[in-house]
Amino acid sequence: MRVAMIGAGYVGLVSGACFAEFGVDVCVVDTEVSKVEALREGRIPIYEPGLDKLVEENVRDGRLTFTTKLEEAMEGADAVFLAVGTPSRRGDGHADLSYVFAAAEQVARAAKGPLVLVTKSTVPVGTGRKIKAVLDETRPGHEIVVASNPEFLREGSAIGDFMRPDRVVIGAESDRAFQVLRRLYRPLYLIETPIVQTGLETAELIKYAANAFLAVKITFINQMADLCERAGADVHDVARGMGLDGRIGRKFLHAGPGYGGSCFPKDTLALARTAQELGAPVTIVEQTIAANDARKEQMADRVIAALGGSVAGKTVAVLGLTFKPETDDMRDAPSLVVVPRLAAAGATIRAFDPQSAHARQLLPANTVFAEGALEAVEGADALVLLTEWNEFRALSPKRIKAAMKGDVVLDLRNAWDPEAFRECGFRYSSIGR
Ligand code: UDX
């Protein structure tokens, strides 16, 4: 089989490389010339564990190619995947679908024979039908059918999520679309992956419902953590005690500084807007968005309070800047709120993240970037753990103490052992414990 993947972004690259690994011939097309050139030379524009190796092997075996020309990518393709960006539109929070419709129109013009056009990009409910209208308008009487096949990839473990998914969702209205997609995912039958075969609108909504539910779940445990602090309870045990109930489940009950990333903030907002427009508001999601935004600011206020009400003239070491470990993605990372707020309150920030390339461009210019965790804490009055990279878990509190000037530690990911830090003389606080 052969597919064209439109968009060499995160979703397009991971999905393209994984389909190639399944034995499919994949051509990834992107308009950015420098990106395509880099990929052809084996340079991957994003950091995702295992992706470089997967791309390299499949390029070598001739199953994965890159181009800037759509016609070339679509040559002989059974399916064309749309994996272009759907950023939040400025002002109203709606997903910006201009790239999706533009790509659909180009596909309609370039198509030579029967084709399945599949949206992998996260698009609001109703978009598949609008894509159909674009196809009808551009090429009346064409043989292109539309399908929705949302991704559920977590950054940092995207390859595993693609290769061993909990389920595959396929939304379509034609047998041909179901057949082509089922054939593409055939290797997953061996591991008995459930396939949810449904209509276009339902598939589109499943993606938003799943992400919004997870965002609500995280926000719930974050608020429980605040309650635990007031009530003298331990949120870890609350999460465990709740999560062992099979109806609730243990995952995504880890309290922290608020969720970030490329999906939850954008998708919750888009779902809330769509639901309002359709006259069925999901107020629980609206409240989740507001609570999560406020939480990031509250995290900065916690630091200020821990330093006695003012950070003016103080040095704060921040470990972890990306929205989660094993990624270089800074989108909606708590650090983007916490660091500027502390800097504006007069603190000097000494920061370290194992993947700080993007952070350097996004954080205030006077942020000091250290080359390692111990260098970051050197002379600091307070230490804030914002992202739980594994290398931070192993840090010795003794060595941190020796390097720091002050004794304040805020572990906003509950990654460290409170006793070990307190024994070293730290005033240690964490989330909900
Ligand atoms: C998410 C979804 O998991 C994935 O299915 C979807 O396709 C894209 O969005 P991702 O954004 O990569 O994936 O990261 P995820 O691991 O889900 O974490 C999202 C955010 O929630 C991070 O900021 C993380 O720190 C936070 N989080 C997650 C918590 O605060 N607590 C948790 O228990 C889990």
pLDDT in tens, the chain (433 residues): 999 999 999 999 999 999 999 999 999 999 999 999 999 999 999 989 999 999 999 999 999 999 999 999 999 999 999 999 888 887 787 889 999 999 999 999 999 999 999 999 889 999 999 999 999 999 998 899 999 999 999 999 999 999 999 999 999 999 999 999 999 999 999 999 999 999 999 999 999 999 999 999 999 999 999 999 999 999 999 999 999 999 999 999 999 999 999 999 999 999 999 999 999 999 999 999 999 999 999 999 999 999 999 999 999 999 999 999 999 999 999 999 999 999 999 999 999 999 999 999 999 999 999 999 999 999 999 999 999 999 999 999 999 999 999 999 999 999 999 999 999 999 999 999 9
Measured from CB, residues less than 6 Å from any atom of ligand 1 are 151-155, 211, 214, 218, 252-254, 256, 259-264, 323-324
Residue among 292, 247, 244 nearest 267 (CA) = 292
The structural domains of the chain, ordered by start, are 2-198 (3.40.50.720), 208-291 (1.10.1040.10)
Q: What are phi and psi of 82, to 5 degrees?
A: -95, 110
Q: In this predicted structure, what is the pLDDT of residue 90?
A: 78
Looking at the DSSP bridge assignments, the partners of residue 146 are 117
Q: In this predicted structure, what is the pLDDT of residue 93?
A: 77
Q: Tokens representing 224?
A: 């429980």
Q: At what angle do helices 200-231 and 264-277 cross, to 10 degrees?
A: 120
Report CA(335)–ligand 1 centroid distance (Å): 15
Strands (E) across 30-166 are located at: 64-67, 79-82, 115-119, 144-148
Residue among 156, 414, 144 nearest 260 (CA) = 156
From the alpha carbon of 388, which atom of ligand 1 is closest? 25
The answer to whether the CB of 145 falls within 8 A of the CB of 220 is no
The rounded Cα 297 to chain-centroid distance in angstroms is 21
Q: In this predicted structure, what is the pLDDT of residue 95?
A: 82
Report CA(119)–ligand 1 centroid distance (Å): 22
Q: What are phi and psi of 154, to 5 degrees?
A: -95, 135
Q: Give the catalytic positions in this structure.
A: 263
